[in-house]
A and B are shown apart, each in its own frame.
Chain A
Amino acid sequence: MYMLEVKDVHKSYGNLEVLKGISFSMKKEDTKVIIGTSGTGKSTLLRCINQLDSPDKGEIWLDGEEITKPDIDINRIRQKIGFVFQEFNLFNHLTALRNVSIGLEKVKGIPKEEAQKRAIKELKRVGLKNQAKQYPAQLSGGQKQRVGIARALAMDPTIILFDEPTSALDPELIGDVLDVMKSLAGEVAMLVVTHEMGFARNVADEIIFMEGGIIVESGPPKKMFQNPKKARTKEFLGRISTLYGKD
């Protein structure tokens, strides 16, 4: 059975149709990477999956439950869907530790001490145990993003959505974040919008190439890089590989 199923999702903003029927599915612990030029609806798709935006048409199923139903308790569903933002969006007034523990306390109702123990564990997992007491403004971009990942992990999600997690980072900080993401592969399902071709090639189970609101082609990295079916896929991957390096 599939863990996540996206069925014919459409989304428009005014007259602009951003998603024109997206369908794909993911198994438990899959890692999928979505690539494509800017403005092709990749971020919109992620936002639709956790219902930050609701699709105009189509269904999304998570763990056998249709989450696009209007009467669904979306706050319960969102705990199962982690989200990591390009701009980190850490809670600025809270320490790294509290950023990670606040969801456990306020949403899951776990007592403060236990929540903080759990948060320390998650910070350790992303290599930031020593930064627990620091505030977001005192952290580097790469550290902020790793706190962002720890915050998502703490809620024990079945899937984490990454929206260009390294695009706002200085090049020398990207590696740390990608390493953390690599270490998660196989432990939790990840759906990653990124331009990091090295990550896509080495970590993804499948690459989804989106353009103009549709999925142009998808397949395992090897096939997509070496033997894409569509000319457009080949052209895009060729161009982006020169830009971002082959691995």
Chain B
Amino acid sequence: MESLPSLIDGLYVTLILTFISLIAGLFLGIALALGRVYGNKIISAICIGYIEIIRGTPLLVQLFIIYFGLPYVGVILSPIDAALIGLSLNSGAYQAEYIRGSIQSIPSGQMIAARTIGMNKLQSIRNIVLPQALRISIPAWSNELIYLLKYTSIVYIIQVRELTYEGKFIAGQTFRFIEIFAIIAIIYLVFTILFTTIIEIFEKKLKIPGVGATSTTRLRNA
């Protein structure tokens, strides 16, 4: 029980890492997806290149490059900053692909109709395409959130004192590996369930009336 305060500190760091990289990744993802779908050849190629490099290499390697590699070119980052940047850049690439898929699922008539009332391309994307695409992205986004929550544990390796790091430290001192890691596993699980539930509520709130049936209502009606 005396280890509780440091676990709470670790949990706090984990949550900060999760939220900041989720939100930063969302903005990066939107920009990359738009660049990939609507950009000219060069912009589109840059976005695809970025997405493929990030998705094609391990997060751990990316973190090592940011934390241990950047000092060689004069950029020295604290562990937490390196972790935030690494996780955000990584999540951005994955979110870009979810959002791209959603954008491409919006019927082309939506954009055409927006253009016929005089909206320019940017206005059409902002007011018509994105609000629909982002709604469709919510389930994938929920997945990204719980994935990030657990994947932040990897940054203990660059000395970020998040939940898993604290757990490992305490376990190493007390030799109560099973209890400590069981507690940590339960904390992750509780927050995963909590986040999933919150996003489901959020998704229902944002649902466009009359569009599609959720899987549960479909089952009930069957």
Contacts A93-B131, A135-B208, A135-B209; A107 near B119 (Cβ below 8 A): yes
Chain B residues within 8 Å of A78, by CB: 115-118
Bound-state CA distance A92–B209 (Å) is 9
- Cross-interface CB contact of A107 among B107, B110, B117, B210, cutoff 8 Å: B117
Decide if B113 is an interface residue (CB 8 Å cutoff).
yes
- Is B119's CB under 8 angstroms from A52's CB? no
The digit string for A35-67, where 1 denotes a CB below 8 A from any CB of B, is 000000000000000101000000000000000
Decide if B128 is an interface residue (CB 8 Å cutoff).
yes
- Is B211's CB under 8 angstroms from A92's CB? yes
- Is B208's CB under 8 angstroms from A75's CB? no
- Is A91's CB under 8 angstroms from B110's CB? yes
Chain A residues within 8 Å of B120, by CB: 75
Contacts A75-B119, A106-B119; A91 near B210 (Cβ below 8 A): no
| Interface range on chain A (Cβ under 8 Å from partner) | 20 to 34
The digit string for A69-95, where 1 denotes a CB below 8 A from any CB of B, is 000000110110111010101111100
- Is B210's CB under 8 angstroms from A76's CB? no
- Is A81's CB under 8 angstroms from B132's CB? no
Decide if A10 is an interface residue (CB 8 Å cutoff).
no
Bound-state CA distance A89–B211 (Å) is 15
Chain B residues within 8 Å of A136, by CB: 210
Decide if A102 is an interface residue (CB 8 Å cutoff).
yes
Decide if B112 is an interface residue (CB 8 Å cutoff).
yes
Decide if A155 is an interface residue (CB 8 Å cutoff).
yes
- Is A103's CB under 8 angstroms from B117's CB? yes
Contacts A75-B120, A103-B119; A92 near B208 (Cβ below 8 A): yes
- Cross-interface CB contact of A92 among B115, B118, B132, cutoff 8 Å: B132
CB distance from A71 to the nearest CB of B (A): 15
Decide if B109 is an interface residue (CB 8 Å cutoff).
yes
Pairs A–B under 8 Å by Cβ, sample size 21? A50-B116, A52-B112, A75-B118, A79-B118, A85-B112, A85-B113, A87-B109, A89-B107, A91-B113, A92-B110, A93-B128, A93-B132, A103-B117, A103-B119, A106-B119, A106-B127, A134-B209, A134-B210, A135-B209, A136-B210, A151-B117
Where the two chains meet, the residues of A that have a C-beta atom closer than 8 Å to any C-beta of B are 50, 52, 75-76, 78-79, 81-83, 85, 87, 89-93, 102-103, 106-108, 134-138, 151-152, 155
